[in-house]
Amino acid sequence: MPVWVRWLLVLLLAVLVAAPPFVLYRAEYVTAKRFREVSPGRFYRSGQPTASGLREMIQRYKIKTVINLQHEHPDPPLCETWVGNWFGGAKTPESEICARLGVRYVLIPADVVPNPDDLTVQPPGVGEFLKVLDDESAYPVLLHCLAGLHRTGRLTAIYRMEYEGWGLGEAFRELRANGYGYEKATEADKMLVHFVQNYQPRPKKRDRAAAPAAATTATEGQ
């Protein structure tokens, strides 16, 4: 048998061995796109899934609100499966999938900073994000951008600090470990500084309610 034939057979065997795991990995990756459970029963994050992947997430985790952070894709057209992403096929707007399943669909621009650039002013997307999450009927929530790393990571850090009482250091460590990267997650990243490093959690609701009461008591004692 010629040497080139042997090498060709070896190459074909390698492809046959390696191809199925790779295809399976790509199918799972594109369908769920870095799906992660942040707080069981309340908060989940991912990148942009396929149509079938989005439906599976919504149904399995009983999602009531889907938040899309892609201002460049305000209503992404989703292929049914990962194969469609490669070879084309019918696409369904994300909002339409949500509407059919009775799920609220929200678009929040998560990469817009104050104009002019002022670190003392909160980015507009933060207020919109908090307004959605302040509503208990919104949960469980699925938050996603395109890759599920940077925009999603920044707002997940805000969720941790605002609603779960995490410190900035804890939120930063999780953000870095979940794909933001240790080299990128520094003060050189203006978005990170605006959205996360400068974020100040609001007083808790009972603290806000207690403040007026305390002020009234002090006034009456004068």
**Interval 172-195: pLDDT, tens:** 999 999 999 888 888 899 999 999
The pLDDT value recorded for residue 101 is 98
Tell me what pLDDT residue 11 has: 65
Burial 49-73 (b: 16+ CB within 10 A, else e): bbbbbbbebbeebebbbbbbbbeee
The reported pLDDT for the residue numbered 20 is: 44
**Residue range 32-212 in CATH 3.90.190.10:** yes
**Do residues 114 and 191 lie in contact, with contact meaning Cβ atoms separated by under 8 Å?**
no
List alpha helices for 75-188, DSSP H: 82-87, 94-100, 124-133, 151-163, 168-175
Residue 19: both structure tokens together? 């191809």
The domains of the chain are located at 32-212
- In terms of pLDDT, which residue wins out, 18 or 204? 204
Of residues 149 and 83, the one with the higher pLDDT is 149
pLDDT at residue 63 above 90? yes
Instruction: Supply angle C-alpha 134, 138, 179, rounded to 5.
Output: 85
Give, in degrees to the nearest 5, the angle at Cα 111 between 147 and 126. Answer: 110
pLDDT grade, residue 10 (50/70/90)? low
Cβ(172)–Cβ(185) under 8 Å?
Answer: yes
Q: What is the DSSP letter of 116?
A: S
Average pLDDT, the chain: 83
**Distance, CA of 129 to CA of 123 (rounded, Å):** 10
